[in-house]
Homo-oligomer: A and B are copies of this chain.
Amino acid sequence: MDFPAHVIITEVGPRDGLQMERRVVPTDIKVALIADLVAAGVSAIQVAAFVHPEKMPQMADAEAVISRLPGHGDVAYSALTLNLRGVERACRTAVPWIEVSLSASDAHSRQNTGLTVVQARAATGAMIDLAVRSGRRVRGSVQCAFGHLTPGDIAVDRVVRMAVGLIDQGVEQLVLADTTGLANPVLVRQMLAALLPKVGSVPLGLHLHDTHGLGLVNVMAALEMGIDRFDTALGGLGGCPFVDGAAGNIATEDTLHLLHALSISTGVDPALVAVWSRRLSAFFEHLLPGKRYRWI
């Protein structure tokens, strides 16, 4: 099998992970976590979201977190935005990467943003424009890329069109997100076979959830197709906060365990990441769904 020799992990725990928890993590702890992730060798970290502070108090300190990031020129810090106002806020900070997303499902788009897919597309166009004009680089993700309510209920062509559309609008990195945890190896292969020939030199990554236990199996399928970028969250943070151990993002440590077993380099020391998974497990007073962090 022809795996990539090196894989880039984007650690999304500080954003996608922490925002799913009821207990708000103080800015000091977030900054210490991010500094230690950098020390562990993580080269891309989603550090904050610019969203309404009342809707998501977990992310209310986005500006403060970014103002205190350890100054490592090599680390691709990114922040999520959902609308133009979020991009405006992000552009007043020093964050180099801004993430925008578009749902491939009309129902999910309306639910999440109040916009139809067509409206959302116009919105991301304006958001990307502003970000690029402000000297930022943009990461664009397609939500529900492997289905919304049932596996594969979103047509492959539709996802491909939306992904290519994001590239046309100016994103420099593309992510397919399995928002509702429906991906399986067959769907991953189908989607990548259709999309990879269309993305040119734009790096394509996957954002997978372990909702139904297939997270790492999907990583394997993607590796076999040459994918070398994955979003992961330390300890598998990002699950439903009301269900102890409910699966969230694929766990950073488990993913690293697999990659390193396959002799794929990542530059990341999983044991240093696991220290924080155990700390956050204690802080949130519940077990995290990842497996490997408990052992290293």
Contact = CB atoms under 8 A, between A and B. Distances in A.
Contacts of A184: 257-258, 261-262
Interface residues of A, number: 33
A245 B244 contact: yes
Contacts of A211: 291, 295
A88 B100 CA distance: 67
B254 A213 contact: yes
B295 A212 contact: yes
Contacts of A289: 245
Nearest to A291: B213
A174 interface: no
Contact of A214 (B212, B245, B258): B258
A9 to B, nearest CB: 15
A48 B164 CA distance: 56
A291 B247 contact: yes
Contacts of A254: 212-214
A186 interface: yes
A159 B185 CA distance: 31
A247 B245 CA distance: 11
Contacts of A219: 217
A210 to B, nearest CB: 7
Given A212-B254, A245-B245, 13 more contacts: A184-B257, A186-B263, A187-B261, A212-B257, A213-B251, A213-B257, A213-B292, A214-B254, A217-B220, A244-B287, A245-B289, A246-B294, A247-B291
24 contacts: A184-B258, A184-B262, A185-B220, A185-B261, A185-B262, A186-B262, A210-B291, A212-B254, A212-B257, A212-B292, A213-B251, A213-B254, A213-B290, A214-B257, A214-B258, A214-B261, A216-B217, A217-B220, A217-B258, A244-B244, A244-B245, A244-B287, A245-B287, A247-B291
